[in-house]
Amino acid sequence: MLFPGVDLLDVTGPPEVFSLLRREMPDATGYRVVLGALSVEPVTTAAGVRVLPDLTFEQLANGRIDTLIVPGSVESDASGRVRAITEPDVVEWTRVLAARSARVASVCVGAHLLAAAGLLDGKRATTHWSTAQQLAADFPAVHVDADPIFIRQGNVWTGAGITACLDLSLALITEDFGEVVALRVARQLVMYLKRTSGQSQFSVPLEPASTTRRMEHLRHHIAASIDAPLTVPNLARQANISERQLTRIFKTELGTTPAAYVESARVEAARSRLESTDDTLDRIATACGFNSIDTLIRAFRRKLDTTPTHYRERFHP
């Protein structure tokens, strides 16, 4: 769906993911993406980029839709507070087109349009964290959970903010074409991991905006040797610098200490295993360099304010 002020990435992100399916399955039919709007005149997005619709909403309402993808738009006041926009005519067409669709998926704050159309009543739903309180306040019949990157409730899917549209699109591909194909598409997107629906919108910050080549080498060494003794002396030898210089580089480039960064990297590795495997906590602790379950638990409490067991209960598929 297209409408004035829509977030550009919400519109272009899913089609980019779907188009990569043709590289992995050249003989498959794949997806045919159709952009619909109130008219076929160009639509100006929030980014100022104009997008040309293929059909009108009225034309789309005459046929069957496999997947209706509903993006969102926001406005901000002078203080920078963000609010999702729900124009009545877009809400009404969302309701009409959803009735013609086998499944419906909102991207980012598009969940507000689904809620306004009555499609989320009694359902769990997520949206961008910045408008989650608004969604809960405006639509008390919706069970808002701002943490997961996407949630599926029957044939209705809601996605979290911005780049989570990629994860949501990969999940749709998984449902239609299987896990193996979706993972291959994720690799084409250069995504580190195809995240599951329960994955939190928030993550331990391991990817700084820019670092020196030496720091990049150290970060990759840590990730590849997560179960090894990653002490300050060992890391200094790996980088061929003094321990004092190593500590100074971490503080300057990453704003943290070597030990804190290593612990964050190990927590991330453990999170991935908790989400995607049935390994015991003892095995995960050993594989991620924690050496004991108690050390693993303490790290999770420090970084995520939860325990590995509770994290698995919530985020394991």
- The catalytic site residues sit at 108
Nearest CA-CA partner of 281 in 262, 261, 299: 299
Show Cβ contacts of residue 189 under 8 Å, excluding neighbours closer than 6 positions.
Answer: 17, 20, 166
Report d(CA 298, CA 304) in Å as an integer.
Answer: 10
Identify the burial level of 317 via C-beta atoms within 10 angstroms of its C-beta, where 0-12 means exposed, 13-18 middle and 19 or more buried.
exposed
Nearest CA-CA partner of 123 in 100, 108, 106: 106
Structure tokens at 89: 């005519």
Report d(CA 144, CA 111) in Å as an integer.
Answer: 10
Phi and psi, residue 56, nearest 5°: -90, 160
Show Cβ contacts of residue 152 under 8 Å, excluding neighbours closer than 6 positions.
Answer: 171, 197
Bridge partners (DSSP) of residue 159 are 150
Q: Which residue has the tokens 């769990």?
A: 124
Helix (H, G, I), strand (E, B) or coil at 78: coil
Report d(CA 113, CA 158) in Å as an integer.
Answer: 11
One-letter amino acid at 237 equals R
Identify the burial level of 287 via C-beta atoms within 10 angstroms of its C-beta, where 0-12 means exposed, 13-18 middle and 19 or more buried.
middle
Q: Which residue has the tokens 């480039």?
A: 253
Nearest CA-CA partner of 15 in 33, 37, 40, 38: 33
